[in-house]
Chain A
Amino acid sequence: MKKSVFFGALTVAGLAAGAAAAGTLDDVKARGKLNCGVTTGLVGFAAPDANGEWMGFDVGVCRAVAAAVLGDPKAVEFVPTTGKTRFTALASGEIDMLARNTTWTFSRDVDLKFTFVGVNYYDGQGFMVPKDLGVSSAKELDGATVCIQTGTTTELNLADFFRSNNISYEPVPIETNAEAQQQYLAGACDVYTTDASGLAATRATFEDPAGHVLLPEIISKEPLGPLVRHGDDNWGDVVRWSLNALITAEELGVTSANIGEMAAGTNNPEVNRLLGTEGTLGEMLGLDAGWAKAAIMAGGNYGELFEGNIGEATPIGLARGLNAQWTNGGLIYSPPFR
């Protein structure tokens, strides 16, 4: 009798532990809110507007996941993280996912035990020069003074690039992007180098943006993407395929404008599978059939998010470049929905 009570208690405890560890997806559903880590503020990628609403490209990914899981793109608790606090916030469970322009690297994936679920922006280190300098390629920068943020990978990339091209440069070390802007505008350096998206955002704030050009060379790989903790593959799948749904939607021409009529059923079976009128993809993820539709309606497909937040129509004015669909010569590519 005593033994059976003991085993009974053990079973209950085991079940409770199983339920507690059942996974992030259930936790999010039970909570009714997605805890999404974002930056404390990066132009175009994530920043609250004058009304305190978070806006931006990374924010769009959070909202899409929230819409897919909970059906409500507003059901997100945005947790601002700094470069120093972001990984501990994710590892400790304070946030369910991190969408904070984080570069996918080997050590972060393997050693820090995170799972990068995809890439939503392919960045890379670039150069900005004043137009008057008359330079059209980074290889012509022999002897230039270069403003460079100390202690970053950009510093090492820069040294490698100049050495492999057998040209010399004079580094001007600076601490922050704000300082770099001032130094560069004051003429303390001929060239400013950092991530290309950062250069574009910086240039957008100049009084005379047209007086400065971004050189075509991109000298490093910085794939930025959302990530989750190791060990919860089901949740990783949800985030991965929510992002893929946005990408596939653009590829298949599904936009937030025409999604209503497309969801009624089309002749394209992949669109139907994506939007849940055919097949059971949502059920396999543990979500309802309209999950991808909700994700796309949250802020539009990948292309709409891009154009609305950082694209050429915005002050940041980034071209699609590497971030075009693979069908247009870019790297944005989603596995099929089948």
Chain B
Amino acid sequence: MADQETNSIAFVATEVIPESAPPARETGAVKWMRENLFSSVTNSILTLVALVFIYLILSGTVPWIVNGLWTTSSLAECREALAGKTGACFSVLTERWNQLIYGFKYPVEEYWRPNLAFVLMLVAIAPVLFFELPRKLLIVTALYPFVAFWLIWGGTILAPLLALIGFVVAGVFFQVFGRTNFALGFFGAVVIALVIWAVGGMLIPEDASENALLSAVPSRDLGGFMLNLMLGVTCVSLSVPLGIALALGRMSDMPLIKGVCVVFIEFIRGVPLITLLFVASVMLAYFFPPESTVDLFLRVVIMITLFSAAYIAEVIRGGLAALPKGQYEAADSLGLDYPQAMRLIILPQALKISIPGIVNVAVGLFKDTTLVSVISMFDLVGMIRGPILASTEWNGVYWELLGFAALLFFVVCYGISQYSQWLERKLHKGH
């Protein structure tokens, strides 16, 4: 029995059985694929079809990019070097890099000026975009337009200085008189600024630009992606305040102001941007004497700004309309006057609601700046369609150039949209 007892159980495991791995189909990549890619017959088919497509696309593009040439000096050389293999001719980007970025007429030795202006732009724009930064940086932002103008166009420093003085004096005047009497302060400031500019304009000597520290560069010589950026940044930053003013004007109780704003917004929205650009470039030339035309860049900036301001005004009006009536009444009951109520209560909330719409308009506007190529300004697309594709070396290179343009625009526009999402999350107060 004792024997039997000791051997009553034929086998006893003396140690714990080691954990075996889970079945292959229930773990890791296989499980993930079973659940996500092949969970049903339809999904399996779709997965296989998608794989075929991905393979087709990659098998076309990867060798094209990997075999790409970066150092030849013409398309014919590219083809010779590739000898029938698939491969891109990225040499056009390296050889014409400066033309793609700065246009073909901006003086090469002055490239540091737009570069510096670009870096300063990042500094100037930072306090506007990120609220944690010290508010004193806003001084840089306020000075930036004048510095950038001087850097990019060069010429006498007196011109941007005069513009700055006009704004500063007008601002001080408004601060002093605008508190008691808004109309007096506002119109007085406008008149004072105009007087300063007119008088100062006469005081600046004719030949001031000739021996200036930075040589003058006419607007016609601007081009490339620089022109797109300049148009985009200038027009967006001008059209947001203008759009706010138009939106408030349209909501106003005063019939004249309301009427003017409604007519303006409806007219501009009813006209294609390209028509406005043609008016700016072609029609206005008939109205001015040949020697005294307003600068083409300025004309285009005005037209694009008016166009996007009308759209932004409607976006902001949507934000204003979305606010409960109680907010307006609350502002009134606190005894705030109209500017205070708008500045402290209404606009901060309305603008927060309007952010996605404003960003939408801004992104669209930035891409619309390429339309200036049809009025013979050489922005990025204009450079590609005109001079580069018309040169004997590079005629016939399409994918590389237009792909590059698409990439540049995508980077900027995606950046803008990511910022706006970050801003929305940040401003979200949970109510």
Interface residues in chain A, defined as those with a beta carbon under 8 Å from any beta carbon in chain B: 39-44, 46-50, 52, 79-82, 84-85, 88-89, 92-94, 178, 181-182, 201, 204-207, 314-316
B95 within 8 A of A: yes
Q: In the complex where A201-B395, A315-B76 touch, is A47 in contact with B390 (Cβ < 8 A)?
A: yes
Partner of A205 from B104, B285, B286, B395 at Cβ < 8 Å:
B395
Asked if B378 and A80 make an inter-chain contact with CB atoms under 8 angstroms apart, the answer reads yes
Q: Which residues of A contact B188 (CB under 8 A)?
A: none
B327 within 8 A of A: no
Query: Nearest-CB distance from A78 to chain B (Å)?
Result: 9
Query: Nearest-CB distance from A43 to chain B (Å)?
Result: 5
Asked if A92 and B286 make an inter-chain contact with CB atoms under 8 angstroms apart, the answer reads yes
Partner of B390 from A41, A84, A85, A315 at Cβ < 8 Å:
A41
Task: Report the Cα distance A181→B397, complex, angstroms.
Answer: 11
Asked if A41 and B398 make an inter-chain contact with CB atoms under 8 angstroms apart, the answer reads no
Asked if A88 and B378 make an inter-chain contact with CB atoms under 8 angstroms apart, the answer reads no
Asked if B385 and A41 make an inter-chain contact with CB atoms under 8 angstroms apart, the answer reads yes
Query: Nearest-CB distance from B276 to chain A (Å)?
Result: 15
Among all A-B residue pairs, the 9 with the closest Cβ atoms = A41-B390, A205-B396, A93-B290, A40-B386, A41-B386, A47-B390, A52-B104, A92-B285, A205-B395
Asked if A52 and B105 make an inter-chain contact with CB atoms under 8 angstroms apart, the answer reads yes
Q: Which residues of B contact A205 (CB under 8 A)?
A: 75, 395-396
The total of Cβ contacts below 8 Å across the A-B interface reads 86
Asked if A43 and B395 make an inter-chain contact with CB atoms under 8 angstroms apart, the answer reads yes
Q: Which residues of B contact A88 (CB under 8 A)?
A: 282, 285-286
B293 within 8 A of A: yes
For this complex, 30 residue pairs linking A to B, each with C-beta atoms less than 8 Å apart, are: A39-B386, A40-B376, A40-B382, A40-B385, A40-B386, A40-B390, A41-B390, A42-B390, A43-B390, A47-B386, A47-B390, A47-B391, A47-B392, A48-B104, A48-B105, A48-B387, A50-B99, A52-B104, A52-B105, A80-B378, A80-B386, A82-B376, A84-B278, A84-B282, A84-B374, A89-B282, A92-B290, A204-B392, A204-B395, A315-B76
Contact with A along B5-17 (1 / 0, CB 8 A): 0000000000000
Interface residues in chain B, defined as those with a beta carbon under 8 Å from any beta carbon in chain A: 75-76, 79, 95-96, 99, 104-105, 220, 278, 281-282, 285-286, 290, 293, 374-376, 378, 382, 385-393, 395-396, 398
Task: Report the Cα distance A81→B388, complex, angstroms.
Answer: 16
Asked if B285 and A50 make an inter-chain contact with CB atoms under 8 angstroms apart, the answer reads no
CB closest chain-B residue, reference A53? B104
Q: Which residues of B contact A79 (CB under 8 A)?
A: 220, 376
Task: Report the Cα distance A42→B220, complex, angstroms.
Answer: 20
Q: Which residues of B contact A47 (CB under 8 A)?
A: 386-387, 390-392
Q: Which residues of B contact A81 (CB under 8 A)?
A: 376
CB closest chain-B residue, reference A20? B289
Q: Which residues of A contact B378 (CB under 8 A)?
A: 40, 80
Q: Which among A41, A84, A93 has the highest number of chain B CB atoms within 10 Å?
A: A41
Q: In the complex where A48-B104, A50-B99, A207-B79 touch, is A94 in contact with B293 (Cβ < 8 A)?
A: yes
CB closest chain-B residue, reference A31? B291
Task: Report the Cα distance A207→B389, complex, angstroms.
Answer: 16
Partner of B95 from A39, A50, A82, A207 at Cβ < 8 Å:
A50
Q: Which residues of A contact B282 (CB under 8 A)?
A: 84-85, 88-89
CB closest chain-A residue, reference B287? A92
Task: Report the Cα distance A84→B389, complex, angstroms.
Answer: 19
Asked if B376 and A85 make an inter-chain contact with CB atoms under 8 angstroms apart, the answer reads yes
Task: Report the Cα distance A204→B389, complex, angstroms.
Answer: 13
Task: Report the Cα distance A81→B285, complex, angstroms.
Answer: 14
Partner of A52 from B99, B385, B392, B396 at Cβ < 8 Å:
B99
Q: Which residues of A contact B75 (CB under 8 A)?
A: 205
Q: Which residues of B contact A40 (CB under 8 A)?
A: 376, 378, 382, 385-387, 390
Q: Which among B104, B290, B385, B390 has the highest number of chain A CB atoms within 10 Å?
A: B390
Query: Nearest-CB distance from B286 to chain A (Å)?
Result: 5
Q: Which residues of A contact B220 (CB under 8 A)?
A: 79
Query: Nearest-CB distance from B126 to chain A (Å)?
Result: 34
Task: Report the Cα distance A92→B292, complex, angstroms.
Answer: 12
Task: Report the Cα distance A48→B390, complex, angstroms.
Answer: 8
Task: Report the Cα distance A47→B396, complex, angstroms.
Answer: 15
CB closest chain-B residue, reference A82? B376
Task: Report the Cα distance A22→B72, complex, angstroms.
Answer: 52
Task: Report the Cα distance A207→B281, complex, angstroms.
Answer: 39
Q: Which residues of A contact B386 (CB under 8 A)?
A: 39-41, 47, 80
Query: Nearest-CB distance from B224 to chain A (Å)?
Result: 11
In the complex, besides A43-B390, A48-B105, A92-B286, 12 extra interface pairs with C-beta distance below 8 angstroms are: A41-B391, A48-B387, A50-B96, A50-B391, A79-B220, A79-B376, A81-B376, A82-B374, A88-B282, A88-B286, A92-B285, A315-B76
